[in-house]
Structure 1
C-alpha cells in the first residue's frame, strides 16, 4: 500500500508536457563536439536534453500552495545567493526612450570570446536584472565552466524606467510592445555577430518575448526561446484576476502598487512632457487610491504603452486583446519551451494545445506559484529554485546541441547615428552615456520584488 501511495504521489508531482499533434523536427548534434547529427522531434529533443522535466517537482512543505510560493518570491531573502554583477549600457531609441542593457560577467571580472553563447533575458512587470528569478538562471549559466557553470554571457534587457533606467520619452513599455527588445537584439547581434543567442522571458517579459519570436518568424535572430509564467491570454487572465476577491485584493493591487511606485520615481521626467497625453495620464494614475492592475492600465498603459499606432487604445481590455500572446503561437519558427504552474495565482489560463504549432512545447507543474518553484534545500528553512535546472538544460542544448535551420537575417546598418535593420526605418537605437556597474543583489527600494 505504501509503495502504491509513493508511486501515486510521485506521479502527481511530475510535470505534464504538452506538444502539438504535428511535430517540428530539429537537427541536433549527437554530442557538443560531434559532427554527427540526429533528427529529433521537439518532444524527443526535450526528453533527451531536458531530463529534469521528466522528474517530479515537489514544493517545500511550508510553501505548498501557489500563494505561499508567490509570496516567498516577494518576502524571501535572496541577497546571499546567486550573486551576479553587470556592466550596463544605455541604448537611446529612435523615439527618445532609453533601454538598459546589463551584461554579465563584467569585463573587469573576466574576458569571454566573441563567439561565447549569450542568454538574452526579459524580466517581469516592474523587475529588472536584480530580480532573484533572473539571477537564479544567470548565476549557473554565466559561472565559469571550471566552477561548474556553462561559462556563457548573459544580457538582461531592462524595460524603460525599470531597474534604475532613466525615463526619457513619454512612451512607456507594455506586455505587447516588441520594438525595444527588437532593437536591443539588433545591438547585441551587431556587437557579437558570431555568438549564438537564446532568449528567456519571465511573466510580462515572457509575453513580450513570445510575441517577438512570433513576429520575427523565420527571421528570428534567436536560436531558441524559453518563457516562464507567461500570461498568454491577457484578456481572460485579467478577468479572472479581477473577478476573484483574493486575487484582485492581493495580486492585482500589488502589481498596480508597484507600477505606481515606478511611475512616481520618474514623475518629474514624465510630467515634463507637457505637450503629450502622458503628462495628464501620469497625474491621473498616481491619483488612484489602491487601484487594481486593470484600473492602472486603463488610466495609463493603454495610452502610452507603445508607439502610435496601435496606441492609444480605447480601453484596457482593447489593449489586452492586442497584447495577448497565445494567438501568435502558430507563427513561431524556433524551438520554444514554456513552463507554467497550475497553481499560479496570477496566470490561470495556459494554452496547452501549443497553438497547434510543433515548434512549441509546454511544461506544466502541479505546484510552483508565480515564478516560484521553490523546493526544500539543504538545511532547515533553506530552499532551491527547481526551475533553474530545466531552464539551464534547455539553454545548454540550444547553444551546444541544436543546429538551427539556415535563416536569412536582414542587414544591420547605421543611419543618422542609429542602428537600424534594412527595411525598418521607424525604429533604431544607439549607445549613450550613463551606464556603469550594477550589483545584482541590490534591490529597488519600495518595490515588491518578484512581480
Structure 2
C-alpha cells in the first residue's frame, strides 16, 4: 500500500546514499584518457559521475509495489528485450567440476584494445547469462560507443549445473562458496592480462561477489564491483521467508521449486555416487509430501551438504550454512570500490546491513537504496510492458564507466598466474586450477531459461 500511495502522490523516491564514516580516495582522470589527474573521495566521484543516484526513481504505474515489480521480473516476457549473444567456454576445475563462461560480444575481437575493461557477471539463484536482468546491463555495456554503449567486453560466470552447464561432480554451488569465481578469474585474467576486471553480481551472485572481494582484500582480481539485490544476512532474511505466510508460500517455495528442477536435471551426477550423504538425501526432496518444498527445507537437505567443497561443507543445518555464507559482516574487509544497490520494498531481501547497528562498512563501499523496485525489478515510469526499462541500468553503467574509463585503477596485486601440466593455477595455491575443455559454442539470446522461473 505504501508503494501505491507513493506513486499516486508522486512522493519523492530519490535514492538514499550511505557512505562509511571514512571514505576512500581514488585517482580520477580529469578528462577521457587524460594524463591530468586528481585525487577525489568516492563520495565526490559518485556525486559527479553517477547522476542517476541523485535523481528520482519512479516505478512504472502498472507496477507500484515491490511484489508486482518482482512478479513482473519473474513472469514478464523479455525474450526480445536486450538480446545478447555469447560464445561459451567450459572450464574443468581441479576437483572435476565444470564452470561455464559466456563471453560477449561474439565474433571478431580485433577492434578491442588490450586494456578494454571486462565486466564479470555473477547471476542469481538458478539463473545464468540468459537472465533479463543480466542482459539489461550487458546489452548497453557491450554496445559500441557510437550506439550509446560503453564498448566493453563481458563474461558471465554460469555456476555449476546452471544455464545448460553440465554437472560433472556431485557438488553444486551456494551463496557462500567462492572458489568457483576465484577459479574462473584465473582463466579470465590469463585471457585478458592487461584489462581491468569489473564485477557485477545479482542476488545470490552478489553475495558470492561480496564474499570474494572481502576474502581477497587487496589481492582481488576484480578492480571494482557492483552488488545488486544482495541478500546479505541470510539468517535474518530466511526468517522472514519462513515466518511470513505470503513469503513462504510464494517466494520461498518458488525458489525451492527452481532448485528442485535444477537438481532433477542433474540427478545422474549424484546417482553415480550412491554412498554419498547428499545422494542418500535426494529422494526425500522428491517425496509427495514435499511437493511444495520451501527454500530452507531444500537448503537443509541438499545445499548444506553439497553447496561447496569440503571443508567447510557439510554443515550440520541450513542455519549453520546461512551463518557462514552471509556477507553483511564482511563489508568491512572490502578493499576495492563497491557499489551496493537494494530496494527497500524487496520482498525477498527485507533486512539490509544499513538497517543494523554495528555493521562495519569499508571506506571502499558505497551503499544505495530506493524505496521501490522489488527484487531485481526497478521497472520505471515511462516503461511499457512490451519494452520494460530497468532503472538500475543507469547507475550501474555510470559506475562501470567511472571505474573503467575515469578512475586510474591500481595494478592488481593478486598472486602471479602459472601453468602447470596444462592447468592455469595461481602461485602459492595448489588447490585451485582450471583448463578449457570442449563442449562450448554459441549461446543465442534467452536460451537456457526454459523450465525455470526467471528473475530470481
Specify the TM-score bucket, using the shorter chain as the normaliser. over 0.9
Q: Pick from 398, 401, 405: which aligns with 2:406?
A: 401
Q: Contact between 1:91 and 1:432, CA under 8 Å: does it hold in 2? A: yes
Identify the residue that residue 226 of structure 1 maps to in structure 2: 226
Q: Distance in 2 between matches of 1:173 and 1:442?
A: 21
Equivalent residue runs for 1:25-424 within 5 Å? 25-107=25-107, 112-287=112-287, 288-352=290-354, 355-377=360-382, 382-424=387-429
| Equivalent residue, structure 2, for 1:449 | 454
TM-superposed CA distance for 1:110, in Å, is 7.2
Number of aligned positions between the proteins: 446
What is the alpha-carbon distance in structure 1 between the residues aligned to residue 70 and residue 44 of structure 2? 32
Once the two structures are overlaid, the 10-residue window that deviates more, 273-282 or 142-151, is 273-282
Q: Which digits, 9 at most, give the CA deviation of each residue in 1:193-247, with x for residues without a partner?
A: 0111100000000000000011110111111100000000001110111110000
Which stretch of structure 1 is more off in the superposition, 128-137 or 216-225? 216-225
Instruction: Report if aligned partners of 1:22, 1:356 keep a CA contact under 8 Å in 2.
Output: no
* Secondary structure of the corresponding residue to residue 350 of structure 2: coil
The Cα of 1:430 is off from its aligned counterpart by 0.9
- Partner Cα separation in structure 2 for residue 379 and residue 324 of structure 1: 36
Distance 1:64 1:319 in 2: 35
**Bigger mean CA offset, 362-371 vs 440-449:** 440-449
Distance, in Å, in 2 between the alignment partners of 1:262 and 1:168 is 14
Distance 1:219 1:109 in 2: 28
Q: Secondary structure at the match of 1:63?
A: coil
State the 4+ residue runs in structure 1 displaced beyond 4 angstroms.
8-11, 108-111, 378-382
8 Å contact 1:271–1:282 — kept in the other structure? no
- Compute the displacement of 1:407 (Å): 4.3
Change (3 A) 1:378 1:278: closer
What secondary structure sits across from 2:151 in the alignment? coil
Structure 1 window deviating more from structure 2 (405-414 vs 339-348): it is: 405-414
Q: CA deviation at 1:429?
A: 0.9
SS in 2 for 1:119: strand
Structure 1 pair 255–150 and aligned structure 2 pair: CA distance change class (3 A): same
Cα deviation for residue 426 of structure 1 reads: 1.0
- 2: CA distance, partners of 1:43 / 1:305: 37
Q: Please report the TM-score for the alignment, with normalisation by the length of structure 1.
A: 0.95
Alignment match of 1:425 (pick from 407, 427, 430): 430
What is the alpha-carbon distance in structure 2 between the residues aligned to residue 110 and residue 124 of structure 1? 32
TM normalised by structure 2 equals 0.94
CA drift of 1:119 comes to 0.2
3-state SS of the aligned residue for 1:31? coil
Kept in 1: contact 2:128–2:448 (CA 8 A) = no
CA contact (8 A) 2:81 2:387 kept: no
**1:140/1:382 CA distance change after superposition, 3 Å:** closer
CA deviation profile, 1:53-109 (whole Å, cap 9, x unmatched): 100100011100000000001111111110000000000111111000000011258
- Indicate how the Cα distance of structure 1 residues 425 and 232 shifts in structure 2: closer, same or farther if over 3 A, else same: same
SS class of match (1:99): strand
Distance in 1 (alpha carbons) for counterparts of 2:154 and 2:269: 30
How far apart are residue 416 of structure 1 and its match? 2.9
Among candidates 423, 444, 447, match of residue 439 of structure 1: 444
Q: How far apart, CA to CA, are the structure 1 residues paired with 2:343 and 2:95?
A: 37
* Cα distance, 1:444 vs structure 2: 2.2
Gapped regions of structure 1 (runs ≥ 5) = none
The CA deviation at 1:12 is 2.4
Tell me, in whole angstroms, the C-alpha distance in 2 between the residues paired with 1:328 and 1:378. 37
After TM superposition, the structure 1 stretch with the greater mean CA deviation from structure 2, 284-293 or 25-34, is: 284-293
| Matches of 1:379 and 1:257, distance apart in 2 | 29
The superposition leaves residues 311-332 of structure 1 with CA deviations (integer Å, 9 ceiling, x where unpaired) of 0000000000000001111110
Alpha-carbon distance in 1 for matches of 2:315, 2:323: 10
What is the alpha-carbon distance in structure 2 between the residues aligned to residue 235 and residue 378 of structure 1? Answer: 35
Distance 2:175 2:414 in 1: 25
Deviations 1:296-353 (A, max 9, x none): 0000000010111000000000000000001111110000000000000000111127
